[in-house]
């Protein structure tokens, strides 16, 4: 017999993604019985309002997950690796937005518009994908299903909020400092982000790619179930507060015209095709901020190769790139599997 209400725990509740989760749970009227909010000692005692009631943020203890049905969160990898198995052991199903379990072969890596059936294969943990990989997967999966994809060449343009609240605070502080003719302070990013772009997200690996770039490559292959698909990524941090964008070059197995792809993408749930060049209409991160949909435009054929396509993708990295994606997974869980 299905439950009417589910007890939910949020890890990292005071972070930018955690707060989005709480807001989206209320917006989508998720059937929450008890909501437990957890964060670090620094945030313990803070109160967050949910459904008109103030809930106190706590630190995880040995009994934190007793009676909890669902655990969701976006915490540092080491924290997730420590806490998520404990939650599962105490009977919860976990939807984790960190990178801790994404490439574990026993853990489904899920975007509901891409591979919802993978949810049913969970063994207690379901991983949400990288905040740039999610909207790109939404855009390219239907193209792969119909035409086949041989290779993807991707450049991501990722906002400051991808580095958390510290990232947005640093961008704001640097901007104000420069207008005041003061020296900007760098703590979160390796260089000044205000009025600049930084072609590095995360640490460099021996081959020259960053960890972020490799994450996107590996996660796209896993979600699309194309382990041999050629993928290369350059990830760039840009001075935008919220909203990640990506330029995606696609080489297909079968010839696909821009018109065919445009019409195909219009049929994908939670996708907005914004692609009217006569009106200069194409996706902007400012359009996507605060929205649930993935925006796609600049759909055109790549004349440099017979089966080439280009498109541009934008999405809110805190919502569809993390919090909303997790809650969509949770909604499928309670409808079909819990």
Which ranges in 90-210 belong to alpha helices (H)? 133-147, 165-179
Q: What are the start-end ranges of the H helices in 33-132? A: 77-89
Q: Is 237 helix (H, G, I), strand (E, B) or coil?
A: strand
Catalytic (active-site) positions? 131, 244
- By DSSP bridging, strand 308-315 and strand 244-252 are antiparallel
The span from the CA of 240 to the CA of 104, in Å, is 32
Structure tokens at 133: 């990989």
Structure tokens at 127: 């991983």
Tell me how far apart the alpha carbons of residues 64 and 153 are, in angstroms, rounded to a whole number: 44
Q: Are strands 308-315 and 294-302 parallel, antiparallel or unpaired?
A: antiparallel
Which run of H or E residues covers position 149? strand 149-158
Dist. CA 129–CA 210, nearest whole Å: 17
Residue 20's H or E segment, with its range, is: helix 16-27
Question: Tokens for 253?
Answer: 């197995």
């Amino acid at each position: 017999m299905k439950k009417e209400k589910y007890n939910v725990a949020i890890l990292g509740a005071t972070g930018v993604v955690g707060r989005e989760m709480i807001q989206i749970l209320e917006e989508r009227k998720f059937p929450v019985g008890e909501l437990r909010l957890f964060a670090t000692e620094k945030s313990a005692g803070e109160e967050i309002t949910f459904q008109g009631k103030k809930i106190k943020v706590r630190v995880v203890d040995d009994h934190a997950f007793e009676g909890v049905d669902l655990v969701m969160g976006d915490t540092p990898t080491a924290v997730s690796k420590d806490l998520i198995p404990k939650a599962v052991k105490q009977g919860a199903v976990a939807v984790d937005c960190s990178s801790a379990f994404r490439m574990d072969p026993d853990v489904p890596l899920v975007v509901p518009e891409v591979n919802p059936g993978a949810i049913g294969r969970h063994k207690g943990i379901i991983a949400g994908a990288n905040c740039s990989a999610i909207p790109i997967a939404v855009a390219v999966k239907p193209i792969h299903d119909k035409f086949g994809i041989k290779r993807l060449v991707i450049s991501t343009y990722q906002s400051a909020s991808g580095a958390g609240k510290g990232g947005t605070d640093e961008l704001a502080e640097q901007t104000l400092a420069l207008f005041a003719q003061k020296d900007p302070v760098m703590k979160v990013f390796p260089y000044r982000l205000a009025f600049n772009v930084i072609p590095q997200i995360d640490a460099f690996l021996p081959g020259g790619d960053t960890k972020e770039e490799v994450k996107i490559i590996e996660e796209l292959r896993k979600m699309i179930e194309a382990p041999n698909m050629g993928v290369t990524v350059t990830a760039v941090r840009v001075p935008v507060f919220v909203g990640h964008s990506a330029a995606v070059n696609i080489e297909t197995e079968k010839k696909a015209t821009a018109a065919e792809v445009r019409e195909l993408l219009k049929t994908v749930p939670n996708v907005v095709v914004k692609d009217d060049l006569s009106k200069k209409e194409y996706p902007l991160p400012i359009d996507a901020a605060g929205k649930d949909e993935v925006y796609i435009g600049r759909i055109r054929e790549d004349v440099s190769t017979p089966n080439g396509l280009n498109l541009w993708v934008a999405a809110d990295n805190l919502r569809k790139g993390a919090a909303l994606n997790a809650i969509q997974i949770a909604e499928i869980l309670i409808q079909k599997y819990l």
